[in-house]
Amino acid sequence: MNFASDNWAGASPQINAALAEHGGGFAAAYGSSDLDEKARQKIGEIFEKDVSVLFVPTGTAANSLAAALIMKPGGIVLAHRESHMIEDECGAPELLSGGGRLVGVDGIDGKIDPVALAQVLKRHDPPFLHYGRPVGMSITQATEVGTVYRVREIAALTDLAATSKLPVHMDGARFANAIVRLDKTPAELTWKAGIDFVSFGASKNGCWCAEALVIFDRSLQEEAEYLRKRAGHLFSKSRFVAAQYLAWLENDLWLDLARHANSMAEELARRISQSGRVKLAWECEANSVFVYMEEETSTQMRKAGARFYPWHLPAGHTPPGDVPESCGLFRLVTSFATTPAEIESFSRLLERS
């Protein structure tokens, strides 16, 4: 009954097989191998574009590399107030961009509100030297709270950003989960909707360690390479990431894994809602289910072996009136490795708790 996080799951068998397959023989280090190039081309096919791909060790590294690429002195990257970059990266984007800042923008359901964005942009038009200046924006797809931006929602934000000439980054740590939810192509969700860079994460969805910044403007690659190296993020045996990506993208494995995770989340949401013991905080659109649960129940559940975490109430979010004060907000995450049996066990335990 492990719903702690999708990074508590290990690697899928296909990923391990790929590593074993590519372990022998010599190959150029630091991203110059044939396998690296093959993975780059495969990712380009997926995104229907000739892209630059920089493998990095973590999602934080990918996001920080994007922030660094768009940073200028006095620069501010706008992101959702509760985004991973602002709340979960311990200052990495700021440090690795050589002194940049992040500023939070409000919005419910983990999505930047276009009205709030417009207000922030207006405040900085013209930019005021003493405050600093917006130099880019980052949005998260799927969001930190398990919701998914629709294409038109992305476009509304990137249109606003474009009026201030701000490049836009997408934190796609759970990009696959958004793809399968929306039934759109990677291109439609990114560059066709005004996105300039994507942190294209695979680790949370069946790989050991496979993160990449995908850049749609290849002229930025050289700068990005210096930034990656200077951050200590350039793998020597880079083909081990390439091998994971190739296996992950082969025959739509990545979509199958994400589809499974999403359907498990949907099933989990359905089952536990029925129990009457929890209340969904908002609709589950990807692989995270957020619920209000009695603190006491949660304690019992965890004692009984269920794994999941409490979550901070998002700013501006008010629990519905029928949620007692004795309830807390909790996050349950599914992954490629979640089984129906686990959901069954969890649901039964909940009914008994």
Give residues 312-351 in contact with a copy of itself (rule: CB under 8 A): 312, 337
Does position 115 interact with a copy of itself (CB under 8 A)? The reply is no
Does position 44 interact with a copy of itself (CB under 8 A)? The reply is no
- The Cα–Cα gap between 71 and 322 comes to 45
Local structure of residue 214 (DSSP, 8 states): E
Pick one of 132, 249, 275, 277: the residue that binds a copy of itself (CB under 8 A): 132
Half-sphere exposure of residue 112: CA atoms within 13 angstroms, side-chain side? 30
Residue 155 CB, nearest approach to a copy of itself (Å): 29
H/E element, 63: helix 59-70
Nearest CA to 74 out of 98, 49, 46 is that of: 98
Pick one of 237, 277, 302, 317: the residue that binds a copy of itself (CB under 8 A): 237
Does position 219 interact with a copy of itself (CB under 8 A)? The reply is no
Residue 276 CB, nearest approach to a copy of itself (Å): 28
Does position 37 interact with a copy of itself (CB under 8 A)? The reply is no
Pick one of 45, 223, 283, 296: the residue that binds a copy of itself (CB under 8 A): 223
Specify whether the CB–CB gap between 197 and 214 falls below 8 A. yes
- State the angle between helix axes of 253-275 and 239-249 in degrees (0 to 180), rounded to the nearest 10: 70
- The Cα–Cα gap between 156 and 114 comes to 7
* Token code pair at residue 132: 């600093």
Segment near a copy of itself (CB under 8 A), from 94-102, 180-188, 189-197, 292-300? 94-102
Residue 213 CB, nearest approach to a copy of itself (Å): 11
Residue 244 CB, nearest approach to a copy of itself (Å): 10
- The Cα–Cα gap between 124 and 127 comes to 4
Does position 130 interact with a copy of itself (CB under 8 A)? The reply is yes
Pick one of 52, 83, 190, 203: the residue that binds a copy of itself (CB under 8 A): 203
Nearest CA to 238 out of 36, 8, 1, 22 is that of: 36
Residue 116 CB, nearest approach to a copy of itself (Å): 12
DSSP lists the bridge partners of residue 310 as: 330
Pick one of 100, 107, 146, 314: the residue that binds a copy of itself (CB under 8 A): 100
Region 265-284 residues binding a copy of itself, contact defined as CB under 8 A: none
Does position 89 interact with a copy of itself (CB under 8 A)? The reply is yes
List, as own/partner pairs, every contact residues 37-43 make where C-beta atoms lie below 8 angstroms and the sequence separation is at least 24, other chains included: 38/242, 38/246, 39/241, 39/242, 39/243, 39/245, 39/246, 42/245, 42/246, 42/249, 43/200, 43/212, 43/214, 43/245, 43/249
Segment near a copy of itself (CB under 8 A), from 18-26, 153-161, 251-259, 262-270? 18-26
Pick one of 38, 44, 58, 295: the residue that binds a copy of itself (CB under 8 A): 58
Pick one of 185, 226, 296, 340: the residue that binds a copy of itself (CB under 8 A): 226
Nearest CA to 18 out of 199, 230, 244 is that of: 244
Does position 242 interact with a copy of itself (CB under 8 A)? The reply is no
Does position 7 interact with a copy of itself (CB under 8 A)? The reply is yes
Nearest CA to 342 out of 246, 275, 261, 225 is that of: 261
- The Cα–Cα gap between 169 and 63 comes to 8
Segment near a copy of itself (CB under 8 A), from 96-104, 174-182, 256-264, 321-329? 96-104
Our CB check for a copy of itself shows the closer of 95 and 349 to be: 95
